[in-house]
Amino acid sequence: MTPTKTTHSTGAAASPDCDVLVIGGGPAGATAAALLARQGRRVVMLEKAHHPRFHIGESLLPANVALFDQLGLREELERIGMPKWGVEFVSPDHDHVTRLEFAEAMDKSMPYAWQVRRSEMDEILFRHAAAQGAEAIEGCRVREVAFDADGADVKAVMDDGAERHWRARFVLDASGRDTFLSNKLKAKQKNPRHNSSALFGHFTNAERAEGKLEGNITIFWFAHGWFWYIPLADGQTSIGAVCWPYYLKSRSKPLKEFFADTIAMCEPLAQRLKDATLVDDAVHATGNYSYTSTHCSGERYLMLGDAYAFIDPVFSSGVYLAMHSAFVGAEVVATALDQPARAAAARKRFEADMRKGPREFSWFIFRVTNPTMREFFMYPQNPMRVKEALMSLLAGDIYGKTPIWRPLRVLKTIYFAICASHPRRSWNAWQRRRRNIRDLGPLAGENVVEVR
């Protein structure tokens, strides 16, 4: 599987070093590399960092479980993961909390997922791709990709400064929020309908629920956005505040103190953390991270997962959409390499598939802080199976045959009807959100890391 040392120039006469070169060794890239290597392809996967490496985005969806089953990695996830059976919502405007279980969805075969350390999960996926036959190289950052009619020349730099070159028949961009090809092709666009920033850290000795509820994710709404609360199997808890940019721009003190003040604004969360300790005194921030791309495919490339688009993490959809795109993308690559006459149609289907996930989640994400939508979560009802359909969406069951779309249309109709019946509240909420999503530019001086 090791590519030749010869450096090829572009042109039809050049013999490829690999069939597929994958940029990025996270969930999307490692999944695609494993699947393509299983097909007998010559696959090279380049990861700029070294595993294990820190990454946020620790909450998986039940729809992820079937993908790990297909990879043969379910036991590995069971070993490192905290079982997650549902979600809890806590609102400052209500005296009760709401707990929903994935078993309440239409498809009862996906009752749980896991909370995971991404450093552990991502390394499992990366090593698995290598075990399947992919050449997995760490500490290698792609600098240039030049396409021609027959493939691409790829230039990369190792940690020690050594340059590496590959000739590939096809390129998969799984570079995450680096969005390598999207930036190169000037295809990346800020999401005009959403704009948020995040602060996050890990805590020890945070208060947890007991028994089956221990691993559930909790969503806390507060004045400037919402918090995630994700219990991990090693006893630590991931806490993050997803805020409107104006709030992070208001910071006038060190990030750790600002994060503590932000937590204090949410009294139920502060109570759970009253005896907790911030791990390594480390707080991270990232800003303005909701984006999409004008397209995600070309004759010799695909963009997978976050390399194409990223939306607000409130429904924990990032890892699932990334891995799903890898499964679908691997089929498109096989078609492009083996049946080129059918490649254009396969890419067209891929484009539609990639738009579907963010679109279906985004309708609810854009409205999750609206008082009408908040009522739906705090007082869940099931006329015409709307609650079951919503839980199916939250479980990630959007690509299968579960008949969720008619109930979801009913739910949206109810939402608009309630908004119309409370015109002043709805108008104020719309105006507030319009102000909140204003782009105030990048956050200065923060420890910016990737968020999925």
> For residues 315, 431, 196 and 320, what is the CA-based torsion angle, rounded to 10 degrees?
20
Q: Give every CB contact of residue 195 below 8 A, 6+ residues apart in sequence.
A: 244, 245, 288, 290, 436, 437, 438, 439
- Angle at the Cα of 317 from the Cα atoms of 312 and 318, rounded to 5 degrees: 80
* The residue count for the chain: 452
**Average pLDDT per consecutive 10 residues, the chain (452 residues; last block may be shorter):** 34 65 98 98 98 94 98 98 98 95 96 97 98 98 96 97 97 96 94 82 97 97 94 97 87 94 97 97 82 96 96 91 98 97 98 96 90 94 96 96 97 96 91 74 45 35
CATH code of the domain occupying 83-115+195-289+367-452: 3.30.9.100
Q: Which residue has the tokens 């590496």?
A: 164
Helix (H/G/I), strand (E/B), else coil: 52: coil
Write out the H or E segment, with its range, that includes residue 346. helix 343-365
Which among 302, 304, 289 is positioned nearest to 449, based on CA atoms?
289
Contact (CB, 8 A) for 382 and 425: no
- Distance from chain centroid for Cα 53: 16
Report the chain's mean pLDDT, rounded to a whole number: 91
Please write down the long-range contacts of 408-414, taking CB distance under 8 Å and 24 or more positions apart.
410/383, 410/384, 410/386, 411/376, 411/386, 412/363, 414/383, 414/386
Q: Do 18-72+117-191+291-361 and 83-115+195-289+367-452 share a fold?
A: no
C-alpha–C-alpha distance, residues 269 and 240, integer Å: 11
Topology of domain 18-72+117-191+291-361, per CATH? Answer: FAD/NAD(P)-binding domain (3.50.50)
Domain ranges of the chain: 18-72+117-191+291-361, 83-115+195-289+367-452
C-alpha–C-alpha distance, residues 367 and 371, integer Å: 9
